A and B are shown apart, each in its own frame.
Chain A
Amino acid sequence: MTTEPEKRTGLVPRWARWTAVTSIVVFVVVPISTLVVWSFAFRWNFPNILPTEWGLRAWSYTASDSSRVLEGLWNSTRLALLVTGMAIVVGLPASRALGQHEFRGKSTVEWLLMMPIIVPALVATMGIHQIFIRLRLTETLFGVALVHLIPAIPYFVLVMASVFANYGTALEETARTLGANRYRVFRYVTLPAISSGLLVASMFTFLISWGQYVTTLLIGGGTFVTLPLVLFPFLSGGNNSTAAAISLVFVAPAIVVLVLTSRQLSRDSALMGGFGKL
């Protein structure tokens, strides 16, 4: 434990650390503190550096039933978790196949997987909407989750395939020859090896679902209310203080997830090791 900090300073040059800290302050801390100030501002006009009048108006609206923030928070959370769970179920086998095996048409499959990033999700969603209406999947949690899966899967598979490619099959084969069954190999060899990569991929998936607006609006029909649905009308012409307060509720989970997982990701991250290998 005591040797660790020294090792870190040795590994990362001083200028790089300063650059990292500066970027975090400039790109994360400053915008978020502005939001905090705005959310407590009642009147804040140029040329005043700070609000001339403060108030809790924005927060009391955010906490009220009319804002539907609580409902949106609940819906966004269970939606993003469901999408993450589905991405793991669907994406893990796919990324393993892509990362560890060579097969005919592999590059075609990879290219197809990237399609949702290249083709805007909106275009696909328009067509899907028609089909979902017939299947009665619109306005349901499951229907919206299925649509969020489209933009989420490429990122999930991209990360996980790199992880699988890096880690190879040798360890699993060794465990098998030593007599472990498939479950034990997965539980004690594969899962520990890919876990930090899986955490990164799950975070990506969670946050992609968390930020979806147009797809949620189309498939959820506006009646499945998530946080972006509550927030976006305020960004296009609403009250700045209210927009700031709801924005803070919107970014809070992302920060919580980042802080909770940052320890796991700070060292020997599978993501850093294997990105771009696919």
Chain B
Amino acid sequence: MIQRKHSRTKTLVVLFAFALIVAACGGGTESATTTKAPAAPAATTTTTAAPAAPAATTTTTAAPAPTTPVDVPGYSTWEDVLAAADGTTVNWFMWGGSDTINSNVDNDIGKVMKERYNITLNRVPITDTADVVNKVLDEAAAGVDSGGSVDLIWINGENFRTLKSADLLYGPWSESIPNAKYVAWDDPAIANDFGEPVDGLESPWGHAQFVMEYNTAFVPEPPTTFEALSDWVKANPGQFTYPAIPDFTGSVFVRTLFYWAAGGPDEFLGEFDQAVFDKYAPTVWAYLNDLEPDLWRGGSTYPEAAAMTDLLANQEIQFNMGYNPSRASSNIAEGTYPETIRTFVFDTGTLSNNNYVTIPFNSANPAGAMVVANYMVSPEFSLIMADPDQWGWLIPTDPTTWPAEDQATLDSYGTGVATLPAAVLNANALPEPAGDWVTAMEAGWIKNVLEN
């Protein structure tokens, strides 16, 4: 008995000692990083705050070389920005749930930034962009006006609007960086993010369009009109559904229906108008309520968007939907989807929008963040992004502004196995309505369909 107790005590003592040692090591590493971190913000703060500082840097670093003027807060030439970004870390907060995107970002952006500009791209994986928005709001509330922990956010729509209306963004910068010439800023679809003017506060990095995914093993001919979809659902009860609002995929499905009911998007692009809403809403609610009994599980519940990927893969439903036209191709390549999945768009068109990156007002490293964002709209990176064998994304840049040889490379690309050609997507792309319309449609769906 005594022997056993002793060995137990020893285990405890050893465990505790180990805990202390590891914690001590941890403390050491941590203090090393914390002492390093404030140094960078301090430097940036002085350059941003004092107008004299950038001028000084210009004369020292860029006297002989030609300069590229930029009009961004704190810097007057791109060379200043590059000099300030040298040796820094950029904390990029982005959704981390795709191993393909994570690896691609590290390999195709992170490595290039390190080699070319000596910038460390620290990709911070998050589950929901709203978490970062809250973090920036929290920092602002606590009075952290400089040296903040977020340098770059993958963002659009509502989250951008929240930060912009709270005046918590750095800039304007995005229309002034060197590669902004490859972005069609005079195109309203780029210059407005869900109806909210971008005003140089975010830079596009990806383009998205709503597409329907279907299993050709069960649906040989996809229903490309809402009438045909309704017929199919009634003939095949239990095999169609859509995500419940406020999920943004469910929300865009309902928006697409509003456009169908109104015969086009035009009436929804301006200010919210209750009369227009009341004119078309009953048609939409009637359509959806008519479908409800024949939806998956009799419409008693609606799945999350993420779950629908599994439901389609496992043949429980035969359709999925989403904002990424090449997701089906990459899911087939990743093994998530069976090889029989293909995509289609409705004859009445589908909504499209852009993903942007934005820089919070208190970013410790706006210079580094701009260098990253600048690379993301370069023809060089757009070609990596558009390549179906690499990223296979739709690109937000305008290829007609590219050098001729880059345009030729782009033309030589095929499309992913389940991805629609860019020409088909573009021909059917519809703009997003402004934010107030989205709010009204979502609230209306909950009241008239979910609770009905």
Listed in ascending order, the chain A residues whose CB lies under 8 Å from chain B are 41-47, 53, 55, 57-58, 61, 64-68, 77-79, 81-82, 84-85, 88, 126, 129-130, 133-134, 136, 138-142, 191-192, 195-196, 198-199, 202, 217-218, 221-223, 225, 229-230, 232-234, 236-242, 264
- Contacts of A41 on B, CB cut-off 8 Å? 335
Q: Does B99 belong to the interface (CB within 8 Å)?
A: yes
The reply to whether B98 and A238 contact each other, CB–CB distance below 8 Å, is yes
Selected interface stretch from B4-12, B168-176, B223-231: B4-12
Q: A78-B22, A133-B142, A141-B30 are in contact. List 11 more A-B contacts (CB 8 A).
A: A43-B335, A81-B23, A85-B23, A130-B141, A134-B143, A141-B26, A222-B149, A233-B95, A233-B125, A237-B305, A240-B310
A82 to B126, CA, bound (A): 24
Q: Does B309 belong to the interface (CB within 8 Å)?
A: yes
Q: How far is the CB of B162 from chain A (nearest CB, A)?
A: 17
A139 to B135, CA, bound (A): 12
Q: How far is the CB of A274 from chain B (nearest CB, A)?
A: 17
Q: Does B338 belong to the interface (CB within 8 Å)?
A: yes
Using known A-B contacts A88-B16, A199-B11, A217-B131, determine if residue A81 contacts B98 with beta carbons closer than 8 Å.
no
The reply to whether B9 and A195 contact each other, CB–CB distance below 8 Å, is yes
Interface pairs (29), CB distance under 8 Å: A42-B335, A44-B335, A45-B315, A55-B335, A57-B335, A68-B125, A78-B22, A78-B23, A78-B25, A81-B19, A82-B19, A84-B19, A85-B16, A129-B138, A130-B142, A133-B144, A134-B142, A136-B34, A138-B149, A199-B8, A202-B15, A217-B126, A218-B135, A222-B125, A222-B126, A222-B135, A223-B124, A232-B127, A233-B97
The reply to whether B23 and A240 contact each other, CB–CB distance below 8 Å, is no
- Contacts of B439 on A, CB cut-off 8 Å? none
Within residues 91 to 113 of chain B, which ones have a CB less than 8 A from any CB in chain A? 91, 93, 95-99, 102-103, 105-107
The reply to whether B315 and A46 contact each other, CB–CB distance below 8 Å, is yes
Question: Which of A81, A129, A191, A217 touches B9 (beta carbons < 8 Å)?
Answer: A191
Q: How far is the CB of B186 from chain A (nearest CB, A)?
A: 35
Q: How far is the CB of A266 from chain B (nearest CB, A)?
A: 11
A142 to B97, CA, bound (A): 27
| Chain B residue at minimal CB-CB distance from A47 | B315
The reply to whether A195 and B12 contact each other, CB–CB distance below 8 Å, is yes
Q: How far is the CB of A67 from chain B (nearest CB, A)?
A: 7
A66 to B9, CA, bound (A): 41
A46 to B16, CA, bound (A): 48
Q: Does B18 belong to the interface (CB within 8 Å)?
A: yes
A240 to B331, CA, bound (A): 11
Interface of B is mostly: helix
The reply to whether A222 and B141 contact each other, CB–CB distance below 8 Å, is no
Which of A78, A84, A218, A225: most chain B Cβ within 10 A? A78
A133 to B314, CA, bound (A): 46
| Chain B residue at minimal CB-CB distance from A193 | B5
Q: How far is the CB of B198 from chain A (nearest CB, A)?
A: 25
| Chain B residue at minimal CB-CB distance from A72 | B125
A198 to B5, CA, bound (A): 13
**Number of contact residues on B: which range applies?**
35 or more
Which of A142, A196, A222, A232: most chain B Cβ within 10 A? A222
Question: Which of B6, B22, B106, B122 touches A192 (beta carbons < 8 Å)?
Answer: B6
A236 to B96, CA, bound (A): 10
Q: How far is the CB of A212 from chain B (nearest CB, A)?
A: 14
The reply to whether A225 and B124 contact each other, CB–CB distance below 8 Å, is yes
The reply to whether B315 and A64 contact each other, CB–CB distance below 8 Å, is no
- Contacts of A236 on B, CB cut-off 8 Å? 97, 127, 306
The reply to whether A82 and B23 contact each other, CB–CB distance below 8 Å, is yes
Q: How far is the CB of A216 from chain B (nearest CB, A)?
A: 12
Q: How far is the CB of A188 from chain B (nearest CB, A)?
A: 9
A46 to B217, CA, bound (A): 13
Using known A-B contacts A78-B22, A222-B135, determine if residue A239 contacts B99 with beta carbons closer than 8 Å.
yes
Question: Which of A46, A199, A222 touches B314 (beta carbons < 8 Å)?
Answer: A46
| Chain B residue at minimal CB-CB distance from A78 | B26
| Chain A residue at minimal CB-CB distance from B38 | A136
The reply to whether A140 and B34 contact each other, CB–CB distance below 8 Å, is yes
- Contacts of A85 on B, CB cut-off 8 Å? 16, 19-20, 23
A230 to B123, CA, bound (A): 11
- Contacts of B97 on A, CB cut-off 8 Å? 233-234, 236-238
| Chain B residue at minimal CB-CB distance from A139 | B149
The reply to whether B8 and A264 contact each other, CB–CB distance below 8 Å, is yes
Q: How far is the CB of B27 from chain A (nearest CB, A)?
A: 7
